[in-house]
Amino acid sequence: MPEEEKQEGAEADDTLIVPIKVKGELIGFICIGSKLSGEQYDQDDTRFIDAIVDQVGTGINNLRARGQQYELEEARDIQRGLLPKTIPQLQGYEISGAWRPAHVVSGDYFDVLKFDEGSAALCIADVSGKGMPAALLMSNVQAAVKAFATATASPAELCEKVNRVVCSNTAEDKFITFFYCLLDAATGKLTYANAGHNAPILIRRDGTSLQLERGGTVLGPFPEWEFEQGETRLYPGDRVLLFTDGITEVRNPDGEEFGEQRLNALLIRNRELSADEIEQAVMTTVAEFSGGDFQDDATLIVLSVN
């Protein structure tokens, strides 16, 4: 016992000092004085005291768990509030997004930033790991994107700036995959940089598909990395899907992955649907495939050209 508690016990003339343990962890003591009758504590007394100690330990543990759960739920509400409450739209396009954390909080992030009536940025990211550490790191990424994103900042330039921020605030064993693109609504030009993220899928109106891969490595390990930039043009009927690996790496009860091939086929079959309908079709299909068990955070953005 700590010296201060030993002293208090001695002054109180305790007869019994009973440890309170929860899952092997010593969390306190119950100190009991002598019986008023002057009799010694017998075996029945000690069994009764043991039962009380167990109940006290369970009660303390439940209070702890409730406090932790409350904090996690509050963190989830804060994180959900940082994501777009309503997704801004551009004339001639439709944008839809979904965010489903595997746990209370998530290491996934997405955003749609509308700069003016003719331009917007779409971005999606995934922190290695799960839970609160990943969520805290993701908030740094989000803050950096908000600080540096403008209608004139190129995707490659933005990735380099965010990467330097991430490198200065990230442990060596952590990294972030990130995709950022700029859309010019008038011309349909989509300029992008992919920092080690799952390559978004572009489905053309005729059912052909391509992946948006150009960019560079993940954010975090290399502070001076220079990112490449890709460019493509969108036409009426095209659909673009940005997604995290919680979509493609989800497993069914037999251990089989959903996979990018299955996702690509799903998009081709549903390419005539709206962005919102494609988003719902993907999330519903993945949920049915996994039996509702999302093993990782699952996030996506769908962009459709009307």
Query: Residues 171, 234: one domain?
Result: yes
Query: Residues 48, 147: one domain?
Result: no
**What are the structure tokens assigned to 95, written together?**
């944008």
Query: Residues 15, 137: one domain?
Result: no
Which of these three, 34, 49, 76, is where a domain ends?
76
> Domain containing 46: what range?
3-76
Query: Residues 131, 243: one domain?
Result: yes
Query: Residues 274, 148: one domain?
Result: yes
pLDDT tens-place string over residues 27-67 = 788 888 877 777 888 887 888 788 777 877 777 776 666 66
Query: Residues 189, 216: one domain?
Result: yes
pLDDT tens-place string over residues 132-163 = 777 778 888 888 999 999 999 999 999 999 99
Contacts (Cβ under 8 Å, ≥6 apart) of 211: 199, 200, 201, 202
| Measured distance CA(2)–CA(8) in Å, rounded | 10
Strands (E), the chain: 16-22, 25-32, 93-100, 108-116, 119-127, 176-184, 189-195, 201-203, 209-211, 215-216, 230-233, 239-243, 298-305
Predicted pLDDT of residue 74: 65
Terminal-to-terminal C-alpha distance of the chain: 72
Query: Which stretch of 119-128, 166-175, 181-190, 225-234 has the lowest confidence by average pLDDT?
Result: 166-175
Query: Residues 104, 198: one domain?
Result: yes
Query: Residues 57, 132: one domain?
Result: no
Which of these three, 48, 76, 104, is where a domain ends?
76
Sign of the alpha-carbon torsion through 215, 217, 223, 226: negative
Instruction: State the pLDDT confidence band at 78, using cuts at 50, 70 and 90.
Output: low
Predicted pLDDT of residue 175: 92
**What are the structure tokens assigned to 253, written together?**
């009860």
Domain tally, the chain: 2
| Measured distance CA(225)–CA(303) in Å, rounded | 29
| Measured distance CA(50)–CA(218) in Å, rounded | 55
Query: Residues 174, 271: one domain?
Result: yes
Q: Which residues of 198-232 are buried (b: 16+ CB within 10 A; e: fewer)?
A: bbbbbbeeeeebeebebbbebbbbeeebebebbeb
**What are the structure tokens assigned to 122, written together?**
């779409």
Query: Residues 88, 174: one domain?
Result: yes
pLDDT at residue 197 above 80? yes
pTM of the model: 0.77
Q: Closest Cα partner for 232 from 189, 202, 203, 195?
A: 189
Query: Residues 88, 71: one domain?
Result: no
Query: Residues 278, 209: one domain?
Result: yes
- The C-alpha R_g of the chain, in whole angstroms, comes to 27
Q: Do residues 135 and 106 make contact, with C-beta atoms less than 8 angstroms apart?
A: yes
| Measured distance CA(152)–CA(165) in Å, rounded | 20
Predicted pLDDT of residue 101: 84
**Tokens 């069994």 identify what position?**
47
Which of these three, 76, 108, 128, is where a domain ends?
76
> Which residues are bridge partners to 90 per DSSP?
none
Q: Do residues 305 and 92 make contact, with C-beta atoms less than 8 angstroms apart?
A: yes
Output the domain CATH number for residue 256. Answer: 3.60.40.10
Contacts (Cβ under 8 Å, ≥6 apart) of 41: 15, 16, 35, 49
pLDDT tens-place string over residues 241-294 = 999 999 999 999 999 999 999 999 999 999 999 999 999 999 999 999 999 888
**What are the structure tokens assigned to 39, written together?**
């009799």
Contacts (Cβ under 8 Å, ≥6 apart) of 203: 209, 238, 239, 240, 241, 264, 267, 268, 271
Q: Closest Cα partner for 94 from 293, 234, 250, 247?
A: 234
Predicted pLDDT of residue 225: 95
Q: Closest Cα partner for 299 from 108, 81, 48, 16?
A: 108
Q: Closest Cα partner for 128 from 175, 172, 194?
A: 175
